[in-house]
Every structure is written in structure tokens, then in C-alpha cells.
């Protein structure tokens, strides 16, 4: 986490005994957090960690993960934030492919003494964080970014959200998600307290103690449902990332006196556009160019921005492409005139945006083709009001008992939760193009219910 220096500075000021970090029944004051960070960094250096080394974090507890991220930053290394929900095989493949210098799987030693001097200000242009956009057992894909590509945007995010040093910021999801990780980083860097409540039940229970919340659209619905039922809350602002909001969500939030700030971005691009009520407009210091995309009637979103990531670790291939200072991840949007709101229309490469995560179909297909009896598989997205989209798998296989159960077992063992299909269909033979490739567009239209007349054969739902 690229804000260790700010945390250490705050620990010797008037806020030293104020809560900085909470998760469940565990709390760290600013002074306690700083002492833990310093002790953790010393432990890592004693183990041979040097500046620039990649340190993988696979801890299950969010508070321990945040402390470890700060310690890695204070040691000058790069924290790679893993997902506790990974299966054994996926975790092993990620670590094999990315080859971190060390893996931190247990809480680092606690500290007893607050450092008197936080040391010199760190280099904003040095790499300081790495996280995952998507990737299955076969292709882990981690994005690396510099400290400044996040921290220099803090002032803009503070202005947009109204976050103050007296606030408590509610983080409602796993830290392996860059959306939630950034929320925690920004809060601590700004001087606000962080309250991590990564499940629907704990997030609702935390409403009475939080001023600002960072959520994906589905979690926004959970919070609004709880408020409708009378849950106590002091929440004033909700920051929503991952998908566009509908009018109903805006109206429900307004009824509870909540201000919604929605944004569009990507792990590789960070913030691209923000919506405070009048549609998506460019995030501060970001230029957007929607370039016509062949044969679609839509445009591809390109950005010129100081917030773009360095690229992928281990020379992995991904959707990030650059051209003369401009970058894209292949998102599509309506072709509109200058100044008009950005209207997104999905990914040109078929990537599925679900609950704030980006799922690349080919990654899921690679894992599912390993199931005995599966001759081929196509993965598409189907619209979903709460999640934006859900992952749908259409398998080419003979009908047999236990096929769905076998597919489920492989998905749980090799795929991250967001990548696992929510709906399954079977065909004796996938429809194919003249070149012999699966007819992905027709299958997507049929499975999503957009065109039930699409000539794909009889889709059999796997119960």
C-alpha cells in the first residue's frame, strides 16, 4: 500500500490515539498501526527483502493484509495483493508464474514503538503496488502501478467524495479488488479511518459507524435495502464503481439523503470518468477519445491520463494497449459529440464486467476445457441488474449425469469467484463460423436472451 509514509507521520501527531483501522472486533490506532508497520518492515528487511522486490500477500484477514501492505511499502518493496478466495491450484500457479521474492501468508510481527522519524518522502515514480485484473490457473495477470499513479489522484477523489480526516470510510469488499484496495489506500492517505466490512451482513452492520462507503452496484442495493428497512446509519456519501447506475438507485439513495458518486475505470487505467448526477464525464486530468470501432457502430474508449498503470507483471498479455501516449483496455461506448456524457457498451474483446470485476472469457474457457468429456466451451456475459452482468458458460459435450457437478468442482478449484459461471448450458455441437471458430456472438445473444431466435441449436440448461 503506497501510503506508509503518511501513516507514520500521522502517528506522532494529535491523531495518534484515534482509530485508524477497524475490521470486526479488531482495531488499530494510528500509533499502533505505525508501530506495526515499522516492525513489519524491519521483519521483511531482516528476511532479505530489498527495494523493488515483489512481495505476495495471501493473508485471509483484511486487517492483517492492510498492515502487511503498509509494511511492504515502508520496506520499499511492491505488494502483490492476492485473493483469499483462490483455490489451491490457482494460488500455486500465480506464485509459480509471478515468482515473488517472498510470500507473506501469516500476520507480520506486531510493533511496540512508534518510529520517531518516518524517513524521507518516498519516490512517487517508483512501483509500489500490484493487483489482479483477471486470470485463471493458466494465465495469472497482475497489473503493476507506481505510487504516484494512485496518490496524485487523492486530492481529486477527496474533492469529489467530500472525505475528511474526521470521517470513517467503509470498505465493503475484498482487498484483492483494486476498487476496494484504492478505497482503503485513499482513506488512510487522507487521514480518515478505515472500516473494512467485506460481506453484505457486516457492511450493513457498519452503516451506523461510517460516513463514506465504497461499493459495487450490487452492494449498493444491499445497503439501500437495509436503509429501507430502517437500519441505523450516519452515511452521507456512497462511491460506486464497476457499472452504470439506474434511475431507481439514484432515487432510492436520494430518499435516504445519500449522495452518489459513480465512476468508470479499470485496474490498468484507474479512474477514467465520474458521474455525480449528470452522466459520466472525464475524471480530472483525464482526456477521453472515443474512436470509431470497425463493424460495431460504436467507439473504442482511449484515454490520456497520469493514472495509467505501468503494465503487466511477467510479460503477461492483456487488454491494455498504448498508442502515442494514449491507452485503452478495449471498452466500447456510444459515439457522441464533445462534452456529451460517456455511455459505455461493454468490452470489444468480449470481457465481462461483473460486480466490479473484469472477467476475460478465454481465461475461463481454458480452465473448463480440462473437464473430461468437454469438447469445447464458450463463455459469454448475460445482463444482470445488480451485478451488471453474470458469467454464462455454454459447453459442447454429450449429455451425462454429473456433468454440471464436475464443471462446478473445476470452477471452484481453478477460478476466482467472479470468474465462475452462474449459468450453464450444453449443446451437442457449438455453432461455428465459416472459419471453424465458435459463433460467439450468436451464442452470447441466445444465452443472454437478447435474441432467442439466434441459430445456435437447442440450448440445454444444466441444472
Clarify whether residues 140 and 1 are in a common domain. Answer: yes
Q: How far apart are CA 329 and CA 222, in angstroms?
A: 30
pLDDT in tens, 1-14: 789 999 999 998 89
Clarify whether residues 84 and 185 are in a common domain. Answer: no
Confidence of residue 303 (pLDDT cuts 50, 70, 90): very high
Checking if the pLDDT of 37 tops 90, the result is: yes
Clarify whether residues 124 and 173 are in a common domain. Answer: no
Which of 311, 329, 349 delimits the end of a domain? 349
Clarify whether residues 187 and 108 are in a common domain. Answer: no
Averaged over 132-137, what is the pLDDT?
53
Contacts of 42-49 with CB under 8 Å at 24 or more apart are: 43/71, 43/108, 43/109, 44/71, 44/72, 44/75, 44/77, 44/102, 44/104, 44/108, 45/75, 47/102, 48/101, 48/102, 49/75, 49/77, 49/101, 49/102
Beta carbons within 8 Å of 90's beta carbon, 6+ residues apart: 136, 137, 140, 413, 414, 415, 416
Residue 47: give the domain boundaries.
1-144
Going by C-alpha positions, the residue among 278, 288, 299 that lies closest to residue 344 is: 299
Q: How far apart are CA 420 and CA 172, in angstroms?
A: 21
Checking if the pLDDT of 135 tops 50, the result is: no
Q: How far apart are CA 447 and CA 394, in angstroms?
A: 8
pLDDT of residue 450: 55
Report residue 117: phi and psi, to 5°: -135, 120
Which of 123, 144, 165 delimits the end of a domain? 144
The number of residues in the chain equals 463
How many domains, in total, are found in the chain? 4
Three-class HEC string of 19-78: EEEEECCEEEEHHHHHHHHHHHHHHHHHCCCCCCCEEEECCCCHHHHHHHHHHHHHCCCE
Q: Which three cell numbers stand for residue 417?
A: 469467484
What percent of the chain shows pLDDT beyond 90?
Answer: 57
Q: Which comes out higher in pLDDT, residue 294 or 299?
A: 299
pLDDT of residue 433: 60
Confidence of residue 42 (pLDDT cuts 50, 70, 90): very high
pLDDT in tens, 397-435: 988 889 999 999 999 998 988 899 999 999 888 887 654
Clarify whether residues 11 and 111 are in a common domain. Answer: yes
Of the given ranges (101-105, 175-179, 253-257, 306-310), which has the lowest mean pLDDT?
175-179
pLDDT of residue 244: 65
Checking if the pLDDT of 89 tops 60, the result is: yes
Clarify whether residues 194 and 279 are in a common domain. Answer: no
pLDDT of residue 408: 92
Clarify whether residues 292 and 223 are in a common domain. Answer: no
What percent of the chain shows pLDDT beyond 70?
Answer: 93
Checking if the pLDDT of 439 tops 80, the result is: no
Confidence of residue 349 (pLDDT cuts 50, 70, 90): low
Q: How far apart are CA 92 and CA 97, in angstroms?
A: 9
CATH number of the domain where residue 64 is located: 3.40.50.980
Going by C-alpha positions, the residue among 22, 430, 441 that lies closest to residue 194 is: 22
CATH number of the domain where residue 365 is located: 3.30.300.30
Q: Which comes out higher in pLDDT, residue 46 or 358?
A: 46
Mean pLDDT of the chain: 88
Checking if the pLDDT of 393 tops 60, the result is: yes
Query: What is the four-CA torsion angle of 432, 316, 176, 84, rounded to 10 degrees?
Result: 80
Averaged over 248-274, what is the pLDDT?
93
pLDDT of residue 420: 93
Checking if the pLDDT of 309 tops 80, the result is: yes
Q: What is the DSSP code string of 90-117?
A: HHHHHHHHH--SEEE-SPPPP-SS--S-
Which of 292, 327, 349 delimits the end of a domain? 349
Checking if the pLDDT of 455 tops 60, the result is: no
Clarify whether residues 367 and 452 are in a common domain. Answer: yes
Checking if the pLDDT of 301 tops 70, the result is: yes
Winning range, highest mean pLDDT, from 79-83, 211-215, 434-438 = 211-215
Q: How far apart are CA 231 and CA 290, in angstroms?
A: 42
Averaged over 263-276, what is the pLDDT?
93
Of the given ranges (156-170, 243-257, 265-279, 280-294), which has the lowest mean pLDDT?
243-257
pLDDT of residue 136: 33
CATH number of the domain where residue 318 is located: 2.30.38.10
Residue linked to cell 439501500: 224
pLDDT of residue 141: 83
Clarify whether residues 249 and 188 are in a common domain. Answer: yes
Q: Which comes out higher in pLDDT, residue 93 or 41?
A: 41
Other CB atoms within 10 A of residue 313 CB? 21
Q: How far apart are CA 193 and CA 19, in angstroms?
A: 6
Averaged over 388-392, what is the pLDDT?
87
Buried b vs exposed e over 417-443: b needs ≥16 C-beta within 10 Å?
ebbbbeebbbbeebbeeeeeebbbebb
Q: Which three cell numbers stand for residue 222?
A: 444491499
Q: Which three cell numbers stand for residue 129?
A: 503496488
3-state secondary structure of 86: coil
CA distances from 450 to 316, 378, 396, 406 (A): 34, 17, 21, 28
Other CB atoms within 10 A of residue 113 CB? 10
pLDDT in tens, 316-328: 888 899 999 999 9
Q: How far apart are CA 117 and CA 438, in angstroms?
A: 61
Contact 352, 381 (CB under 8 A): yes
Checking if the pLDDT of 385 tops 90, the result is: no
Clarify whether residues 191 and 167 are in a common domain. Answer: yes
Checking if the pLDDT of 315 tops 90, the result is: no
Clarify whether residues 139 and 186 are in a common domain. Answer: no
**Which pTM value belongs to this model?**
0.80
Winning range, highest mean pLDDT, from 69-83, 84-98, 241-255, 407-421 = 69-83
Checking if the pLDDT of 445 tops 80, the result is: no
Clarify whether residues 397 and 343 are in a common domain. Answer: no
Confidence of residue 351 (pLDDT cuts 50, 70, 90): confident
Amino acid at each position: 500500500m503506497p501510503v506508509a509514509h503518511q501513516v507514520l507521520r500521522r502517528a506522532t501527531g494529535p491523531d495518534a490515539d484515534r482509530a485508524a483501522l477497524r475490521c470486526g472486533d479488531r482495531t488499530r490506532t494510528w500509533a499502533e498501526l505505525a508501530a506495526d508497520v515499522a516492525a513489519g518492515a524491519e521483519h521483511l528487511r531482516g528476511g532479505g527483502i530489498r527495494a523493488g522486490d515483489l512481495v505476495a500477500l495471501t493473508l485471509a484477514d483484511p486487517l492483517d493484509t492492510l498492515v502487511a501492505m503498509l509494511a511492504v511499502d515502508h520496506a520499499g518493496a511492491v505488494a502483490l495483493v492476492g485473493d483469499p478466495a483462490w483455490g489451491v491450484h490457482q494460488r500455486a500457479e500465480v506464485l509459480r508464474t509471478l515468482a515473488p521474492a517472498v510470500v507473506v501468508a501469516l500476520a507480520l510481527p506486531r510493533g511496540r514503538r512508534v518510529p520517531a522519524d518516518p524517513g524521507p518522502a518516498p519516490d512517487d515514480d517508483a512501483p509500489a503496488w500490484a493487483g489482479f485484473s483477471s486470470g485463471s490457473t493458466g494465465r495469472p495477470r497482475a497489473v503493476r502501478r507506481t505510487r504516484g499513479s494512485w496518490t496524485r489522484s487523492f486530492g481529486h477523489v477527496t474533492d469529489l467524495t467530500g472525505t475528511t480526516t474526521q470521517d470513517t470510510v467503509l470498505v465493503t469488499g475484498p482487498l484483492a479488488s483494486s476498487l476496494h484496495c484504492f478505497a482503503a489506500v485513499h482513506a488512510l492517505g487522507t487521514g480518515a479511518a478505515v472500516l473494512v466490512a467485506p460481506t453484505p451482513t457486516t457492511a450493513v452492520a457498519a452503516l451506523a459507524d461510517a460516513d463514506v462507503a465504497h461499493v459495487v452496484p450490487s452492494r449498493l442495493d444491499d445497503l439501500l435495502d437495509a436503509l429501507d428497512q430502517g437500519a441505523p446509519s450516519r452515511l452521507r456519501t456512497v462511491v460506486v464503481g464497476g457499472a452504470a447506475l439506474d434511475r431507481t438507485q439514484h432515487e432510492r439513495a436520494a430518499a435516504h439523503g445519500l449522495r452518489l458518486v459513480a465512476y468508470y475505470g479499470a485496474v490498468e487505467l484507474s479512474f477514467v470518468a465520474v458521474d455525480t448526477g449528470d452522466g459520466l464525464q472525464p475524471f480530472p486530468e483525464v482526456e477521453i477519445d472515443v474512436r470509431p470501432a470497425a463493424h460495431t457502430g460504436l467507439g473504442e474508449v482511449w484515454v490520456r491520463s497520469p493514472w495509467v498503470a505501468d503494465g503487466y507483471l511477467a510479460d503477461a498479455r492483456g487488454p491494455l494497449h498504448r498508442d502515442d501516449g494514449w491507452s485503452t483496455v478495449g471498452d466500447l461506448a456510444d459515439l457522441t459529440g464533445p462534452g456529451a456524457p460517456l455511455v459505455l457498451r461493454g468490452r470489444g474483446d468480449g470481457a465481462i464486467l461483473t460486480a466490479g470485476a473484469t472477467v476475460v472469457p478465454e481465461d475461463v474457457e481454458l480452465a473448463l476445457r480440462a473437464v473430461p468429456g468437454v469438447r469445447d466451451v464458450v463463455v459469454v456475459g448475460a445482463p444482470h441488474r445488480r451485478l451488471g452482468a453474470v458469467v454464462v458458460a455454454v459447453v459442447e459435450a454429450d449429455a451425462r449425469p454429473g456433468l454440471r457437478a464436475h464443471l462446478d468442482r473445476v470452477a471452484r478449484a481453478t477460478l476466482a469467484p467472479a470468474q465462475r459461471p452462474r449459468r450453464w448450458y450444453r449443446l451437442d455441437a457449438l455453432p461455428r463460423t465459416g472459419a471453424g471458430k465458435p459463433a460467439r456472438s450468436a451464442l452470447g445473444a441466445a444465452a443472454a436472451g437478447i435474441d432467442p431466435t439466434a441459430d445456435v441449436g437447442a440450448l440445454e440448461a444444466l441444472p
